[in-house]
Amino acid sequence: MTAASFDFTSVLRPGLPPAAPKWSGLAKFNFTGGNNDAEQLPLDALMAAAASVLAREGRTLATYGLESGPLGYLPLRRFLVEKLKRTAGIACTAEEILVTSGSLQALDLVNGALLASGDTVLIEQESYQGSLNRLTRLGVNALGIPLDRDGMRVEAAAAALADLKRRGIHAKYIYTIPTVQNPTATILPEQRRVELLKLSQEYEVPIFEDDCYADLIWDGRRPPAIYAMSKRGGVIHIGSFSKSIAPALRVGYIVAPWEILSRILPLKTDAGSGALEQMVLGEFCARHFADHVPKLTRGLRAKVETLMEALAEQFGTAAEFEDPKGGIFLWVKLPDAVDIHKLAQAALAAGVAINPGPEWSTDKAYSRSRMRLCFASPSHEAIRQGVAVLADVCRREFGVPVRSANVEQRARA
Protein backbone atom coordinates (compact mmCIF):
# COMPACT_ATOMS: atom_id res chain seq x y z
CA MET A 1 0.00 0.00 0.00
CA THR A 2 1.36 3.46 -0.85
CA ALA A 3 0.76 6.41 1.44
CA ALA A 4 -1.54 7.98 -1.16
CA SER A 5 -3.84 4.99 -1.69
CA PHE A 6 -6.33 5.81 1.04
CA ASP A 7 -8.71 8.66 0.23
CA PHE A 8 -9.57 10.71 3.32
CA THR A 9 -11.76 13.18 1.40
CA SER A 10 -15.06 11.63 2.46
CA VAL A 11 -14.17 11.75 6.17
CA LEU A 12 -12.69 15.25 6.39
CA ARG A 13 -14.55 17.68 8.60
CA PRO A 14 -16.38 20.35 6.59
CA GLY A 15 -14.89 23.84 6.75
CA LEU A 16 -11.23 22.80 7.08
CA PRO A 17 -8.66 25.35 5.91
CA PRO A 18 -7.07 24.66 2.49
CA ALA A 19 -4.42 21.91 2.34
CA ALA A 20 -0.94 23.02 3.40
CA PRO A 21 1.65 23.27 0.63
CA LYS A 22 4.80 21.17 1.09
CA TRP A 23 7.63 23.27 2.53
CA SER A 24 10.08 24.18 -0.19
CA GLY A 25 12.73 25.94 1.90
CA LEU A 26 13.39 29.58 2.72
CA ALA A 27 13.91 32.21 0.05
CA LYS A 28 17.50 33.34 -0.52
CA PHE A 29 16.54 36.86 0.63
CA ASN A 30 13.90 36.32 3.28
CA PHE A 31 12.13 39.42 4.57
CA THR A 32 9.05 37.51 5.76
CA GLY A 33 7.82 36.22 9.09
CA GLY A 34 8.82 37.30 12.56
CA ASN A 35 12.19 35.58 12.56
CA ASN A 36 14.99 36.75 14.78
CA ASP A 37 18.68 37.50 14.22
CA ALA A 38 20.57 34.17 14.43
CA GLU A 39 23.83 35.99 15.19
CA GLN A 40 22.28 37.55 18.29
CA LEU A 41 21.12 34.29 19.87
CA PRO A 42 22.80 34.02 23.28
CA LEU A 43 23.77 30.42 22.56
CA ASP A 44 26.58 29.95 25.09
CA ALA A 45 24.46 31.26 27.94
CA LEU A 46 21.48 29.14 26.80
CA MET A 47 23.67 26.02 26.74
CA ALA A 48 25.03 26.80 30.20
CA ALA A 49 21.48 27.42 31.49
CA ALA A 50 20.30 24.09 30.06
CA ALA A 51 23.18 22.22 31.71
CA SER A 52 22.75 23.83 35.11
CA VAL A 53 18.96 23.59 35.32
CA LEU A 54 18.96 19.97 34.16
CA ALA A 55 21.67 19.04 36.64
CA ARG A 56 19.70 20.64 39.45
CA GLU A 57 16.08 19.88 38.59
CA GLY A 58 16.10 17.48 35.64
CA ARG A 59 14.25 14.73 37.48
CA THR A 60 11.14 16.90 37.74
CA LEU A 61 10.68 16.18 34.02
CA ALA A 62 9.19 12.87 35.14
CA THR A 63 6.08 14.76 36.28
CA TYR A 64 3.53 16.48 34.00
CA GLY A 65 3.84 20.22 34.58
CA LEU A 66 7.17 19.64 36.38
CA GLU A 67 6.45 20.41 40.01
CA SER A 68 4.98 23.79 39.17
CA GLY A 69 1.36 22.91 38.36
CA PRO A 70 -0.73 23.73 35.29
CA LEU A 71 0.28 27.43 34.95
CA GLY A 72 3.84 26.62 33.90
CA TYR A 73 7.37 26.48 35.32
CA LEU A 74 7.31 28.57 38.50
CA PRO A 75 10.81 30.15 38.28
CA LEU A 76 9.92 31.40 34.79
CA ARG A 77 6.66 32.90 36.05
CA ARG A 78 8.54 34.48 38.95
CA PHE A 79 11.00 36.01 36.49
CA LEU A 80 8.04 37.38 34.52
CA VAL A 81 6.52 38.93 37.65
CA GLU A 82 9.76 40.85 38.24
CA LYS A 83 10.35 41.70 34.57
CA LEU A 84 6.80 42.87 33.85
CA LYS A 85 6.95 45.14 36.90
CA ARG A 86 10.33 46.58 35.92
CA THR A 87 9.68 47.13 32.22
CA ALA A 88 5.90 47.50 31.84
CA GLY A 89 4.73 48.61 35.29
CA ILE A 90 2.54 45.52 35.69
CA ALA A 91 1.91 44.41 39.27
CA CYS A 92 0.84 40.77 39.15
CA THR A 93 1.52 37.51 40.93
CA ALA A 94 2.83 34.24 39.52
CA GLU A 95 -0.74 32.90 39.87
CA GLU A 96 -1.92 35.45 37.32
CA ILE A 97 0.45 34.19 34.61
CA LEU A 98 -0.15 31.21 32.34
CA VAL A 99 2.82 30.02 30.28
CA THR A 100 1.71 29.05 26.75
CA SER A 101 3.21 27.46 23.65
CA GLY A 102 4.09 30.76 22.02
CA SER A 103 1.72 33.69 22.18
CA LEU A 104 -0.16 32.10 19.28
CA GLN A 105 -1.54 29.63 21.78
CA ALA A 106 -2.32 32.57 24.05
CA LEU A 107 -4.36 34.10 21.19
CA ASP A 108 -6.21 30.81 20.70
CA LEU A 109 -6.95 30.42 24.40
CA VAL A 110 -8.23 33.97 24.89
CA ASN A 111 -10.31 33.71 21.72
CA GLY A 112 -11.58 30.32 22.87
CA ALA A 113 -12.82 31.82 26.12
CA LEU A 114 -14.41 34.94 24.63
CA LEU A 115 -15.44 34.50 21.01
CA ALA A 116 -18.21 32.74 19.11
CA SER A 117 -19.05 32.86 15.42
CA GLY A 118 -20.91 36.08 14.59
CA ASP A 119 -19.22 38.15 17.33
CA THR A 120 -17.60 41.51 16.63
CA VAL A 121 -14.20 42.75 17.84
CA LEU A 122 -12.23 45.96 17.26
CA ILE A 123 -8.71 45.59 15.93
CA GLU A 124 -6.12 47.98 14.49
CA GLN A 125 -6.80 48.24 10.76
CA GLU A 126 -3.24 47.05 10.10
CA SER A 127 -2.55 44.10 12.38
CA TYR A 128 -0.85 40.77 12.82
CA GLN A 129 -1.84 38.27 10.16
CA GLY A 130 -2.03 35.46 12.74
CA SER A 131 -4.64 37.43 14.69
CA LEU A 132 -6.64 38.43 11.61
CA ASN A 133 -6.68 34.86 10.24
CA ARG A 134 -7.88 33.46 13.54
CA LEU A 135 -10.80 35.88 13.62
CA THR A 136 -11.75 35.02 10.04
CA ARG A 137 -11.59 31.30 10.80
CA LEU A 138 -13.80 31.79 13.87
CA GLY A 139 -16.40 33.68 11.81
CA VAL A 140 -15.80 36.83 13.89
CA ASN A 141 -16.38 40.28 12.42
CA ALA A 142 -13.06 42.17 12.76
CA LEU A 143 -13.74 45.89 12.65
CA GLY A 144 -10.53 47.67 11.54
CA ILE A 145 -9.72 50.91 13.37
CA PRO A 146 -7.31 53.13 11.42
CA LEU A 147 -3.90 54.04 12.82
CA ASP A 148 -1.76 57.14 12.55
CA ARG A 149 1.87 57.70 13.59
CA ASP A 150 0.86 57.14 17.22
CA GLY A 151 -0.98 53.88 16.75
CA MET A 152 -4.70 53.25 17.02
CA ARG A 153 -6.81 56.37 16.50
CA VAL A 154 -8.82 56.28 19.67
CA GLU A 155 -11.45 58.72 18.39
CA ALA A 156 -12.12 56.27 15.53
CA ALA A 157 -12.48 53.44 18.07
CA ALA A 158 -14.94 55.64 20.01
CA ALA A 159 -16.99 56.28 16.86
CA ALA A 160 -17.01 52.55 16.03
CA LEU A 161 -18.16 51.61 19.54
CA ALA A 162 -20.90 54.25 19.48
CA ASP A 163 -22.07 52.99 16.09
CA LEU A 164 -22.08 49.37 17.30
CA LYS A 165 -24.10 50.40 20.34
CA ARG A 166 -26.69 52.12 18.15
CA ARG A 167 -26.99 48.85 16.25
CA GLY A 168 -27.34 46.83 19.45
CA ILE A 169 -23.95 45.10 19.03
CA HIS A 170 -21.65 44.59 22.04
CA ALA A 171 -18.05 44.13 20.88
CA LYS A 172 -16.23 41.29 22.64
CA TYR A 173 -12.84 42.98 22.89
CA ILE A 174 -10.53 45.69 21.56
CA TYR A 175 -7.40 43.90 20.35
CA THR A 176 -4.32 46.09 20.21
CA ILE A 177 -0.57 45.73 19.76
CA PRO A 178 0.16 49.06 21.44
CA THR A 179 3.90 48.88 22.01
CA VAL A 180 5.74 48.52 18.67
CA GLN A 181 2.77 47.58 16.57
CA ASN A 182 2.88 44.84 13.95
CA PRO A 183 3.23 45.86 11.13
CA THR A 184 3.41 49.66 11.56
CA ALA A 185 5.90 49.77 14.50
CA THR A 186 3.90 52.57 16.13
CA ILE A 187 3.85 53.04 19.92
CA LEU A 188 0.56 54.15 21.50
CA PRO A 189 1.32 57.12 23.80
CA GLU A 190 0.25 57.01 27.43
CA GLN A 191 -2.57 59.54 26.94
CA ARG A 192 -4.17 57.39 24.25
CA ARG A 193 -3.91 54.40 26.57
CA VAL A 194 -5.84 56.39 29.17
CA GLU A 195 -8.50 57.24 26.57
CA LEU A 196 -8.74 53.63 25.40
CA LEU A 197 -9.26 52.49 28.99
CA LYS A 198 -12.04 55.08 29.37
CA LEU A 199 -13.74 53.68 26.27
CA SER A 200 -13.33 50.15 27.60
CA GLN A 201 -15.06 51.21 30.80
CA GLU A 202 -17.80 53.23 29.08
CA TYR A 203 -18.75 50.43 26.70
CA GLU A 204 -17.90 47.50 29.00
CA VAL A 205 -15.55 46.06 26.37
CA PRO A 206 -12.31 44.42 27.58
CA ILE A 207 -8.95 45.28 26.06
CA PHE A 208 -6.80 42.48 24.68
CA GLU A 209 -3.20 43.77 24.78
CA ASP A 210 -0.59 41.92 22.70
CA ASP A 211 2.83 43.18 23.81
CA CYS A 212 5.24 40.77 22.16
CA TYR A 213 7.57 43.43 20.66
CA ALA A 214 7.67 45.71 23.70
CA ASP A 215 11.23 44.74 24.69
CA LEU A 216 12.63 45.74 21.32
CA ILE A 217 12.60 49.54 21.63
CA TRP A 218 15.88 51.21 20.68
CA ASP A 219 16.07 53.51 23.70
CA GLY A 220 14.32 51.05 25.99
CA ARG A 221 11.70 53.65 26.95
CA ARG A 222 8.07 52.63 26.73
CA PRO A 223 4.75 53.76 28.18
CA PRO A 224 3.31 51.51 30.89
CA ALA A 225 1.34 48.52 29.67
CA ILE A 226 -2.40 49.13 29.36
CA TYR A 227 -2.74 46.22 31.78
CA ALA A 228 -0.72 48.18 34.33
CA MET A 229 -2.84 51.31 33.90
CA SER A 230 -6.21 49.61 34.30
CA LYS A 231 -7.82 50.06 37.70
CA ARG A 232 -10.70 47.71 36.93
CA GLY A 233 -8.95 44.62 35.63
CA GLY A 234 -10.67 44.63 32.23
CA VAL A 235 -7.44 43.91 30.34
CA ILE A 236 -5.88 40.65 29.20
CA HIS A 237 -2.17 40.95 28.42
CA ILE A 238 -0.11 38.51 26.35
CA GLY A 239 3.59 38.38 25.63
CA SER A 240 6.27 36.14 24.22
CA PHE A 241 9.94 35.17 24.31
CA SER A 242 9.89 34.73 20.52
CA LYS A 243 11.07 38.24 19.76
CA SER A 244 13.40 38.83 22.70
CA ILE A 245 15.10 35.39 22.63
CA ALA A 246 14.00 32.96 19.90
CA PRO A 247 10.71 32.08 18.14
CA ALA A 248 11.44 28.37 17.75
CA LEU A 249 11.40 27.95 21.55
CA ARG A 250 7.61 28.49 21.43
CA VAL A 251 7.20 30.11 24.82
CA GLY A 252 4.64 32.84 25.44
CA TYR A 253 2.34 33.82 28.28
CA ILE A 254 -0.97 35.30 29.33
CA VAL A 255 -1.29 37.75 32.23
CA ALA A 256 -4.85 38.10 33.49
CA PRO A 257 -6.81 38.41 36.72
CA TRP A 258 -7.61 34.97 38.12
CA GLU A 259 -11.36 35.49 37.49
CA ILE A 260 -10.74 35.27 33.75
CA LEU A 261 -7.52 33.20 33.79
CA SER A 262 -9.45 30.45 35.60
CA ARG A 263 -11.88 30.38 32.63
CA ILE A 264 -9.03 30.30 30.11
CA LEU A 265 -6.93 27.60 31.82
CA PRO A 266 -9.39 24.70 31.28
CA LEU A 267 -9.10 25.33 27.52
CA LYS A 268 -5.36 24.53 27.65
CA THR A 269 -5.76 20.81 27.22
CA ASP A 270 -2.18 19.92 26.22
CA ALA A 271 -1.04 19.01 29.75
CA GLY A 272 1.48 21.87 29.75
CA SER A 273 3.79 23.57 27.28
CA GLY A 274 7.26 22.18 26.52
CA ALA A 275 9.07 21.90 29.86
CA LEU A 276 12.67 21.97 28.70
CA GLU A 277 12.36 25.34 27.01
CA GLN A 278 10.56 26.80 30.04
CA MET A 279 13.32 25.53 32.33
CA VAL A 280 16.10 26.86 30.11
CA LEU A 281 14.40 30.25 29.80
CA GLY A 282 13.74 30.44 33.54
CA GLU A 283 17.42 29.79 34.23
CA PHE A 284 18.72 32.05 31.45
CA CYS A 285 16.40 35.01 31.98
CA ALA A 286 16.94 35.41 35.72
CA ARG A 287 20.64 36.10 35.03
CA HIS A 288 20.93 37.39 31.49
CA PHE A 289 17.66 38.79 30.10
CA ALA A 290 18.27 42.39 31.21
CA ASP A 291 21.75 42.43 29.58
CA HIS A 292 20.76 40.50 26.49
CA VAL A 293 17.94 42.81 25.35
CA PRO A 294 19.97 46.04 24.84
CA LYS A 295 22.57 44.06 22.85
CA LEU A 296 19.83 42.58 20.69
CA THR A 297 18.16 45.93 20.05
CA ARG A 298 21.49 47.57 19.11
CA GLY A 299 21.94 44.89 16.46
CA LEU A 300 18.36 45.29 15.23
CA ARG A 301 18.75 49.08 15.01
CA ALA A 302 21.86 48.62 12.86
CA LYS A 303 19.90 46.29 10.56
CA VAL A 304 16.97 48.64 10.09
CA GLU A 305 19.42 51.40 9.25
CA THR A 306 20.90 49.17 6.55
CA LEU A 307 17.40 48.43 5.26
CA MET A 308 16.34 52.08 5.20
CA GLU A 309 19.56 53.04 3.40
CA ALA A 310 19.11 50.25 0.87
CA LEU A 311 15.50 51.26 0.20
CA ALA A 312 16.49 54.91 -0.18
CA GLU A 313 19.27 53.95 -2.57
CA GLN A 314 17.31 51.46 -4.66
CA PHE A 315 13.76 52.86 -4.55
CA GLY A 316 14.39 56.56 -3.83
CA THR A 317 11.12 58.37 -3.14
CA ALA A 318 9.14 55.40 -4.49
CA ALA A 319 9.42 53.69 -1.08
CA GLU A 320 7.78 55.56 1.81
CA PHE A 321 8.22 54.52 5.43
CA GLU A 322 8.64 55.88 8.95
CA ASP A 323 11.88 55.35 10.86
CA PRO A 324 10.65 52.84 13.50
CA LYS A 325 11.35 53.23 17.23
CA GLY A 326 11.84 49.50 17.64
CA GLY A 327 10.84 46.02 16.54
CA ILE A 328 11.79 43.89 13.58
CA PHE A 329 9.56 45.20 10.78
CA LEU A 330 9.42 48.07 8.35
CA TRP A 331 6.00 48.87 6.85
CA VAL A 332 6.63 50.25 3.38
CA LYS A 333 4.34 52.05 0.92
CA LEU A 334 5.20 51.70 -2.78
CA PRO A 335 3.58 53.76 -5.59
CA ASP A 336 -0.14 53.11 -6.19
CA ALA A 337 0.66 51.42 -9.51
CA VAL A 338 2.26 48.52 -7.63
CA ASP A 339 0.02 45.52 -7.01
CA ILE A 340 1.92 44.10 -4.06
CA HIS A 341 0.60 40.55 -4.46
CA LYS A 342 1.88 40.49 -8.01
CA LEU A 343 5.20 41.97 -6.89
CA ALA A 344 5.50 39.37 -4.11
CA GLN A 345 5.04 36.51 -6.59
CA ALA A 346 7.52 37.88 -9.10
CA ALA A 347 10.02 38.70 -6.33
CA LEU A 348 9.78 35.20 -4.91
CA ALA A 349 10.65 33.76 -8.31
CA ALA A 350 13.79 35.93 -8.11
CA GLY A 351 14.61 34.71 -4.59
CA VAL A 352 13.16 37.57 -2.51
CA ALA A 353 10.31 36.89 -0.07
CA ILE A 354 8.18 39.79 1.21
CA ASN A 355 4.90 39.95 3.11
CA PRO A 356 2.13 41.59 1.04
CA GLY A 357 0.28 44.32 2.98
CA PRO A 358 -3.30 43.09 2.38
CA GLU A 359 -2.58 40.03 4.53
CA TRP A 360 -1.81 42.41 7.41
CA SER A 361 -4.85 44.66 7.04
CA THR A 362 -8.63 44.68 7.20
CA ASP A 363 -8.58 47.26 4.37
CA LYS A 364 -7.39 45.52 1.23
CA ALA A 365 -7.55 48.68 -0.94
CA TYR A 366 -5.48 50.77 1.52
CA SER A 367 -2.82 48.07 1.80
CA ARG A 368 -2.75 47.14 -1.91
CA SER A 369 0.67 48.75 -2.51
CA ARG A 370 2.14 48.18 0.93
CA MET A 371 4.51 45.50 2.19
CA ARG A 372 6.01 44.40 5.47
CA LEU A 373 9.74 43.70 5.56
CA CYS A 374 11.36 41.81 8.46
CA PHE A 375 14.94 43.04 8.85
CA ALA A 376 15.96 40.92 11.85
CA SER A 377 16.94 37.66 10.19
CA PRO A 378 18.70 38.56 6.91
CA SER A 379 22.35 39.64 7.20
CA HIS A 380 23.33 43.23 6.33
CA GLU A 381 24.66 41.98 3.00
CA ALA A 382 21.48 40.01 2.27
CA ILE A 383 19.39 43.10 3.09
CA ARG A 384 21.37 45.19 0.58
CA GLN A 385 21.32 42.54 -2.16
CA GLY A 386 17.69 41.54 -1.56
CA VAL A 387 16.45 45.13 -1.80
CA ALA A 388 18.40 45.64 -5.04
CA VAL A 389 16.79 42.52 -6.56
CA LEU A 390 13.36 43.64 -5.31
CA ALA A 391 13.80 47.06 -6.95
CA ASP A 392 14.80 45.38 -10.21
CA VAL A 393 11.74 43.12 -10.17
CA CYS A 394 9.47 46.04 -9.28
CA ARG A 395 10.82 48.09 -12.18
CA ARG A 396 10.39 45.21 -14.59
CA GLU A 397 6.78 44.60 -13.49
CA PHE A 398 5.54 48.14 -12.81
CA GLY A 399 8.05 50.62 -14.24
CA VAL A 400 9.02 51.93 -10.78
CA PRO A 401 11.38 52.92 -9.25
CA VAL A 402 12.65 54.93 -12.18
CA ARG A 403 16.00 55.62 -10.48
CA SER A 404 18.12 53.13 -8.53
CA ALA A 405 21.47 53.89 -6.89
CA ASN A 406 21.02 57.39 -8.40
CA VAL A 407 21.11 56.01 -11.93
CA GLU A 408 18.12 56.29 -14.22
CA GLN A 409 16.89 52.82 -15.16
CA ARG A 410 14.69 51.76 -18.02
CA ALA A 411 11.88 49.32 -17.42
CA ARG A 412 12.73 46.19 -19.35
CA ALA A 413 10.14 45.04 -21.87
Ligand X SMILES: Cc1ncc(COP(=O)(O)O)c(C=O)c1O
Query: Where do contacts with ligand X occur on this chain (CB under 6 A)?
Result: 34, 102-104, 128, 130, 177, 182, 210, 212, 240, 242, 247, 252
Select 99 or 308, whichever has its Cβ closest to ligand X: 99
User: Which is nearer to ligand X, 130 or 224 (by Cβ)?
Assistant: 130
Answer yes or no: are the C-beta atoms of 404 and 313 closer than 8 Å: yes
**How far apart, in whole angstroms, are the C-alpha atoms of residue 319 and residue 317?**
5
Closer CB to ligand X, residue 71 or residue 177? 177
Provide the minimum distance between the beta carbon of 157 and ligand X in the complex, in angstroms, as a whole number.
18
Shortest distance, position 252 Cβ to ligand X, whole Å: 4
Q: With respect to ligand X, which residue has the nearer C-beta, 122 or 393? A: 122
**Minimum distance between the CB of residue 89 and ligand X, rounded to whole angstroms?**
20
Residue (242 or 278) nearer to ligand X, CB: 242
Q: Which is nearer to ligand X, 209 or 397 (CB)?
A: 209
d(CA 303, CA 386): 13
Bridge partners (DSSP) of residue 255 are 97, 237
Of all residues in the shown chain, the one whose CB is closest to ligand X is 102
**HSE-up of residue 45 (Cα within 13 Å, Cβ side):** 15
Rounded Cα distance, 48 and 56, in Å: 12
The sign of the torsion formed by the CA atoms of 136, 139, 140, 145 equals: positive
Min CB(66)–ligand X separation in Å = 21
By CB atoms closer than 10 A (0-12, 13-18, 19+), residue 358 is: buried
C-beta of 34 vs 401, nearer to ligand X: 34
Where residue 287 falls (left for φ over 0; alpha for ψ -120 to 50; beta otherwise) is: alpha
- What's the min distance (Å) between Cβ of 122 and ligand X? 15
Whether the Cβ atoms of residue 173 and residue 121 lie closer than 8 Å to each other: yes
CB of 180 to ligand X, least distance (A): 9
Task: Pick the closer one to ligand X by CB: 73 or 128.
Answer: 128
Sequence-distant (6+) residues with CB within 8 A of 98 are 71, 72, 106, 109, 253, 254, 256, 261, 264, 265, 268
Q: Is 336 left (phi over 0), alpha (psi -120 to 50) or beta?
A: alpha
Q: How far is the CB of 368 from ligand X (least distance, A)?
A: 22
Q: In 170-324, where does DSSP find H-type helix?
A: 190-203, 226-229, 258-264, 275-315
